[in-house]
Chains A and B, each alone.
Chain A
Amino acid sequence: MSIFWALLRRELASFFFSLTGYVIIAAITLLTGLSFVVLIHNLGTDPSPMPVTEMFYRTYFFWLIVLLASPVITMRVFALEKATGTFETLMTTPVGDAQVVLAKFFGALIFYLVAWLPLLACLFTVRHFTNQNALDGGTVGGMFLGIFLVGGLFISLGCFASSLSRSQMAAAMIAFVLGVSLFALGFLAEALPASAHWQTQVISYFALFEQMRDFARGVVDTRAVTFYASATFLFLFLTLRVVESRRWK
């Protein structure tokens, strides 16, 4: 366990002691800020009973941030170590492959969550200047649970992409393409009419928008939680297999 903490600390340090880390945080903060401007504008023009978090979600900056930030955050986790050769020094110490994969995943996930914190400030600003009912703990909690779960999925996907390549650029592109594909499946799930056909049923699980809208409303659907958790697990498992593959290649 202490090895895991040492690895996780090093991952976090590599994010927070590097310029790229702060560039990513600045970019996410900028996008969050833009969404805040749009949010304030909407609040002013069209009064609605929606929770503020759902209104934020409806600005669609959310998906832009997730789709753009996750590949950039995760691109270096394996690719950089492979390119500089530190992967070799890392893997010849008595650390387990699973420990390495998990430390890298959680390092990136924690960084991703920290980058989302400015949103909390935006939401509380809204709460401060509007009536108190527009925002309650439940909706904010649901929103951040959604951010956490969606982030877990996209970060694990990015880790997988990074483990495939020695080039950070290639890793980011693979992650972006995979992420956009997943996103497109969400559109498909939205567009397809409900039917008993098994293909449609399967696709309906990829209804990312609906699930996230529920989270933003403060509705926690266990089906969505299970979907995100198992998809995250799947990509982490694939990453582990790729890391292990040097043993049978």
Chain B
Amino acid sequence: MIEVSNLTKRYAGRTAVDDISFTVARGEIVGLLGPNGAGKSTTMRVLSGFMPATSGTVRVAGFDVFHDADETRRRIGYMPENNPLYPEMRVREYLKFRARLKGLGWKKSRQRVTTVMEQCGLGDVGRRVIGQLSKGYKQRVGLADALVHDPELIILDEPTIGLDPQQIRSVRTLIKSLAGKHTVLISTHILPEVEMMCGRVLIMFDGRVLASDTPENLQRRMAGGSQIIAEIAAPEAALRAAWDHLPEVEHFDLVATDGEFFRCALTPRDGADLRATIFALAQQNRWALRELTRSRHSLEDIYMQVTRPTTEAVE
């Protein structure tokens, strides 16, 4: 659906996007993750056809976004950063206006506006003036606008920014419901959002794409650094011997806690899951086991790890 190759965008004296390439398949929900100023919005503006790239090509549904601008724009629903709307217009009137601009006929636009208003939960605010709506409703109007011409690709620049948790949830549910039928590209700097909504994550930093994978794969990749915590009541020497004998344990730490319990932090080799082995061991030796957990790296750790070296180099 999207093919970006060697895209570079330079503003006067500053490189916002530096030679990035990626592809997005039809029906995917992809999250563009990165700190502010990483080049997410610039990438999206080029994709939406608002600005041309300095170099490189961007193709959407096989059309070049610059040379076949009309063809690609018809296929893209784009909600820019901060969701700009005309505050003096009424919701229904605005959506109809937008539908007409996107080339829908009079009858078709009426029909689509009704559909998207239902889809986005705007049914009872159709006659309200946009400027008087709450932020959550405004965001839904923006989403409805992006959806109104039933585009193949939906580009949303920070769709949940500034919303309360309840509103964020409803927007997320809405975006998730688009999967399969539409291809969705979302930018955000909120990590849990990506974990919840996206099938794939592109981590952007300083104008480059540093990682691109599913959230699970990214976590697995980092699992080498994960730990297993076990609290076991046993003689210290016996515990040390047991861990030394397990070939999968690369490194361990013992800390005495209350009573006879020891808190063991084990680092497994190659991210192996040792929990079953440990349980069997405890059962065999009749040791009391009161906690057994595997600490997983969250996307946040990955994000920090991926972006850190460059940050320090800059500083």
Contacts and interface: CB of A to CB of B under 8 A. Distances in A.
Interface of A: 2-3, 6-7, 9-10, 13-14, 17-18, 84-86, 88-95, 246-248
A86 B101 CA distance: 13
Nearest to B77: A92
Contacts of B48: 92
Interface residues of B, number: 31
A6 B97 contact: yes
A247 B101 contact: no
Contact of A94 (B73, B82, B145): B73
Interface stretch (B85-93, B117-125, B185-193, B287-295): B85-93
Interface stretch (B24-32, B49-57, B164-172, B244-252): B49-57
B80, B101, B105, most chain A CB atoms within 10 A: B101
Given A3-B100, A10-B97, A94-B103, A246 B86 contact: no
A18 B129 CA distance: 13
Interface string B11-50: 0000000000000000000000000000000000100111
Q: A-B pairs with the 3 shortest C-beta distances?
A: A85-B84, A6-B100, A93-B101
A92 B88 contact: no
26 contacts: A3-B100, A3-B101, A6-B97, A6-B100, A7-B101, A9-B97, A10-B97, A13-B88, A13-B89, A14-B86, A84-B84, A85-B81, A85-B84, A86-B85, A86-B86, A88-B45, A88-B50, A90-B101, A92-B50, A92-B76, A92-B80, A93-B102, A94-B69, A94-B74, A247-B51, A247-B66
B205 interface: no
Contacts of B269: none
B289 to A, nearest CB: 58
Contacts of B89: 10, 13
Nearest to A19: B88
A12 to B, nearest CB: 12
Contact of A89 (B74, B80, B100): B80
B78 A89 contact: yes
Contacts, number: 66
Contacts of A3: 100-101, 103
Given A14-B88, A92-B78, 18 more contacts: A3-B100, A3-B101, A6-B100, A84-B84, A88-B45, A88-B80, A89-B80, A89-B84, A89-B98, A89-B145, A92-B48, A92-B50, A93-B98, A94-B74, A94-B101, A94-B102, A94-B103, A248-B52
A85 B49 CA distance: 15
A76 B74 CA distance: 28
A3, A6, A14, A18, most chain B CB atoms within 10 A: A6
B70 interface: yes
B73 A93 contact: yes
Nearest to A18: B88
